[in-house]
Structure 1
Amino acid sequence: MGRRERRWRADDPATQGPPAHAPVICPLCERPIPPRAKSSLHHLTPKLKGGAKAGTVRLHQICHSAIHARYSEAEIARRLADTQALREDTEIARFVAWVRTKPDDFHAATRMTRTRKAGRREPS
């Protein structure tokens, strides 16, 4: 449909999410992603650092925003290029513990962290 937003119709299979028996699970927080919840594709290796479409995972939008609010694309490519590494990171683990207490379709604005905004990273 080009740049226009695709309209949701109950009888159109192209606008339907996965079958009810196979919910999409966010690999970061491990909560289901409801069909109409905000979600996005995350390139495990950022496109600017050589990532390809084949290396993507569907995340809740809030989970995706949390990653990019905390880390630069260079740092994601260097040490956080898989979901296991992301879950083991202390800042992301703290976020995941918090977001797991929220409903599956929860979304809130995410601000860039102070250290990222200032352009400096503390050693991990």
Structure 2
Amino acid sequence: MEAAIAASETAAAHRAPAICPLCDRPIPPDAKSSRHHLTPRLKGGTHLGTVRLHQICHSAIHARFSETELATKLADVEALRADPEIAAFVAWVKTKPPAFHAPTRMTRDRREAKRER
């Protein structure tokens, strides 16, 4: 049993790290990452596709867009990357190391809109 566990751990250590489909940087094992539902669960995406992203990339998406916006016009990686705000974020984050993480704040416009509700 111990030999099987050791073999499994060795194989996992030799695998290439996952690549974040948003920023195209590798996701090392020690990096913060999470699964992004391409269609938000609240909008019917519970059993639809997900992608693994750096946590900072995932947070950037949810800081900028509502669940409705994500479901209606940004339900795939290409649409997200084509958005000017996300494109600017991706250009910036690509200059950072693969395991880079920083807190992400909601955009000013979204904060103000949320207060007005």
**TMscore range, shorter length:** 0.7 to 0.9
Larger Rg: 2
The aligned length equals: 110
Q: Which residue of 2 aligns with 1:5?
A: none
Given the two structures, how large is their TM-score scaled by the length of structure 1?
Answer: 0.80
Gaps of 5+ in 1: 1-9
Q: 1:110 and 1:17 mapped to 2: Cα distance?
A: 34
Matched, 1:99 2:93: yes
The Cα RMSD (Å) is 2.2
Given the two structures, how large is their TM-score scaled by the length of structure 2?
Answer: 0.85
Structure 1 residue 119: Cα displacement: 1.7
* Preserved contact between residue 49 and residue 74 of structure 1 (Cα < 8 Å): yes
Q: How does 1:1-124 map to 2 (within 5 A)?
A: 11=6, 13=8, 18=12, 20-119=14-113
Gaps of 5+ in 2: none
Task: Give percent identity, aligned residues only.
Answer: 65
* Preserved contact between residue 70 and residue 113 of structure 1 (Cα < 8 Å): yes
* Preserved contact between residue 20 and residue 27 of structure 2 (Cα < 8 Å): yes
Structure with the larger RCO, 1 or 2 (CA within 8 Å, 6+ apart): 2
Counterpart amino acid of 1:50? G
Taking a change above 3 Å as real, the CA distance of residues 104 and 46 of structure 1, as seen in their structure-2 partners, is same
* Preserved contact between residue 39 and residue 48 of structure 2 (Cα < 8 Å): no
Taking a change above 3 Å as real, the CA distance of residues 71 and 102 of structure 1, as seen in their structure-2 partners, is same
